A and B are shown apart, each in its own frame.
Chain A
Amino acid sequence: MANRVAITGIGALSALGHTAAEHLDALRAGRVGIGPTRNVDTEGLKVRISGEVHGFDPKAHFDDRQIGLMDRTAQFAVLVAREAVQAAGAPFEGVEPERAGAIFAATVGYQAVDAGYQRIYEAKSRPHPFTVPKAMPSAAVSHVSIDLGLRGPAFSIASACASAAHSVGTAFHMVRAGMLDVAVAGGSETPLTPGMMRSWEALRVLSPDGCRPFSKDRNGLVLGEGAAAVVLEDWDRAKARGATILAEMTGFGMSADAQDMTAPDATSAARAVSLALKDGGHAPEEIDYVNAHGTATVLNDRTETAALRIVFGNRLAALPVSSTKSLYAHCMSAAGALDLVSTVFALRHGFLPPTMGFNEPDPECDIDCVPNASRPADIETAISNAFAFGGLNAVLALRRAG
């Protein structure tokens, strides 16, 4: 008999605010964090909006020596990991070192890379000697393990925009299988550099004026920065130590399209959803809410709707499906974790987070996307979708703690 897995802590940092509490408030109020890009010089950029984190001061959280070795994305990862662990109330106390894990989305230290390139190509000088330890995609999880003193399995998973969902799902399976007593898992991403913004622009998937998932007039995704983490814990252990259980993680499904580097595939995405339901022992009729991948590209939202129709059939019309990326933008490697946090809040606080920016129905996205305002709802079971470039899909299933 597999162990049950509890989520006992949450941390979030995004354009919605610096804490999970601010994330919850914004979800409920439908407060959009996307706006004009302020932290990056937008000279030469056509797209001038993003989901930026404002007012973040590293010195408030780290000493100078730590800051010297941490890219912004690692700083974000440590911050949300700390918040999740603090919320969980000393979850690692008394745990054998090898039974405490940290699994975070791989995330490139783009600020370090950008600064290095500027020194090499513009200043014609040497890059900073810490460019490598700051840029390497596993740096964030290393900093989390150092900061929290975690000595068990610690590693990063790369699957583009599904990286955090794969990371949380893997941690969930390890706890459920009894390999770990407790894990902190999530993702972070800070891709807002001139180089990355221009590269995304070149791919022609960015919206110049807003993120409007499932709306007929949607015209692309909005890049964002952020991070989120959860503490996953053996259910009985969490109960025994009197922890507050925020939600139960029940299932994790994965699939690969094996087709195209950018275009998604409905059949394959549907398989990931079905596998998550099967893994969690859920019938499709049990699902009360879907937190969509919902990037607001024409292709994703149409394909995601088709995938959900394959799984849920005609019941889809009555199944709320919303994209919370409409509030905090698409934070890439962190997206799966931020979307998961949004889903946990929906279950715990009994509401459907909205899809903001919705203007007109699209016959190819004929769903209830909870347009423009959150709604109270007594929901029991939900899934969170992550479908990445390169056809890598990860779906997480959750149940209200009860």
Chain B
Amino acid sequence: MQTDDPRISEIIDFIAAEVGVERGLLTPQTPVADLGISSLDLIETIFKLESRFDIEIPNDGPLNGNDVTVGALVDHVAALLAAKSGGTAEKTA
């Protein structure tokens, strides 16, 4: 997954490390379910993203479902980060 935004790059790196998948194998369209992690793993990854970036990912947001993609996950975290700092985030997909 490529990006010029260092902030987004950091998010992708963090997710790749958490789920134990090579960053190069992640695409925005990749369903999180295809990463070989359980729904419980996704919940823990979300929790760790919250702790790492000091954000709160709402329970009823775009990550609430079974067909979440890596792009949706990264975009949502980026949007929350941008909202926190008062800017806008570049979309990955």
What residues of chain A have their CB less than 8 Å away from a CB belonging to chain B? 65, 68-69, 126, 128-130, 133
Contact = CB atoms under 8 A, between A and B. Distances in A.
B47 A128 contact: yes
Interface of B: 40-41, 43-44, 46-47, 50, 56
A126 B57 CA distance: 11
B47 A69 contact: no
Contacts, number: 15
A63 to B, nearest CB: 11
Per CB-CB distance, the 4 closest pairs between chain A and chain B, nearest first, are: A129-B43, A129-B47, A129-B44, A128-B47
A332 to B, nearest CB: 29
Contacts of B40: 69, 130, 133
Contacts of A130: 40, 43-44
Contacts of B43: 129-130
A126 B50 contact: yes
Contacts of B56: 126
Contacts of A126: 47, 50, 56
B82 to A, nearest CB: 22
Contacts of B47: 126, 128-129
15 contacts: A65-B41, A68-B44, A69-B40, A126-B47, A126-B50, A126-B56, A128-B47, A129-B43, A129-B44, A129-B46, A129-B47, A130-B40, A130-B43, A130-B44, A133-B40
Contacts of A68: 44
Nearest to B50: A126
Given A128-B47, A129-B43, A130-B44, 4 more contacts: A65-B41, A126-B47, A126-B56, A129-B44
A129 B44 CA distance: 6
A126 B50 CA distance: 10
A217 B67 CA distance: 66
B36 to A, nearest CB: 11
Contacts of A69: 40
In this complex, the member of A68, A126, A128, A129 whose beta carbon has the largest number of chain B beta carbons within 10 angstroms is A129
Nearest to B44: A129
Contacts of B46: 129
A130 B44 CA distance: 8
Nearest to B47: A129
